Copies of this chain bind each other. A is one copy, B any other.
Amino acid sequence: MYYDDLLPQIQESIEPLFGYGKLADYIPALAKVDPKQFGIAVRTIDGLESYSGKAYQPFSIQSISKVFTLTLALQTVGNKIWTKVGKGSCETSFNAIAPLECEHGIPRNPLVNAGAIIIADALISHIDDPRATILDFVRTISGNENIDYDLEVSESEKQYGHRNAAIANFMKSYNMLENDICDVLDLYYLHCSIKMSCMDIARAVTYLANGGYCPFAKDDIISLKEARKINALLFICGMYNASGDFAFRIGLPGKSGVGGGIFAIVPNNLSICVWSPELDDHGNSLIGIKALEEFIDKTGLSVF
């Protein structure tokens, strides 16, 4: 297929980079993963798929899940979600608390931890069984009924999640949360613990490449306009405080997770997901970014 030759070449070229990053050690359950793994999967909006490496190996999607909960929030809460969370860029670390103080408890965007906690709170307020709904949603858009939460990971994060508890309590002190802090954090840790493979994710985010249309749901799951807005947001702040550098080098909307996954969107063309657990200083997959950069360099794909 289209990228059947390219993806193995990329896999080969990144081999020498194993060992330069490091695992997310602050979540004990993630620190046990074999670091020398790599997978890559591409899916075009026409439904053509290519892959290389461990593209079908499920991993902890972590912050990538924030894109799915944001999409669900737009579906259920609608535009008024933007009264509780900004759309701005993020100079600081994903778990920084100081910016929250400057802005009176309003997170800069839904992709930093604080913003995703706001989204989790909104989902609890607007959905009967958010835990089931989120999982159902992710299974539907990726066409994979086997996707599930990893309770060991969510428990592990909760146990060591004092920073997120600080952020949630801080926002609560500004009346930014409607529900019980523990319930909100439980849901947040739960959706971060979802395990998906590169191919699952490449399929699931097709709606962002395809104007809101999901081929597995056989329906628009959000409008074209909303899909574009999510892409704009991903471009601005999908890689935390490395977003500027990612925009400069890769030039595509995308989202990373500390499990080592990163997806990117070429609008009206394809979605791509890479995975390799070792992280760089910003918490993004070191090899994943290199692989995406090579993909872009070789294909010349760009939004600009």
Contact = CB atoms under 8 A, between A and B. Distances in A.
A167 interface: yes
A60 B101 CA distance: 28
A166 B162 contact: no
A143 interface: no
Nearest to A229: B248
A214 to B, nearest CB: 16
B162 A172 contact: yes
A38 B282 CA distance: 44
Contacts of A28: none
Given A108-B91, A236-B236, A244 B86 contact: yes
A222 interface: no
A251 to B, nearest CB: 5
By secondary structure, the A interface counts as helix
Interface residues of A, number: 48
Contacts of A86: 244
A232 interface: yes
Nearest to A101: B98
B89 A267 contact: no
Contact of A228 (B99, B227, B251): B251
B251 A247 contact: no
A194 interface: no
Nearest to A208: B304
Contact of A166 (B109, B173, B248, B265): B173
A140 interface: no
Contacts of A101: 96-98
A76 B290 CA distance: 28
Interface string A275-304: 000000000000000000000000000111
Contacts of A244: 86-89, 108-109, 233, 236-237
A170 B97 contact: yes
15 contacts: A86-B244, A87-B248, A89-B91, A89-B236, A89-B244, A91-B108, A165-B165, A165-B166, A228-B251, A229-B251, A232-B247, A233-B248, A253-B304, A267-B302, A267-B304
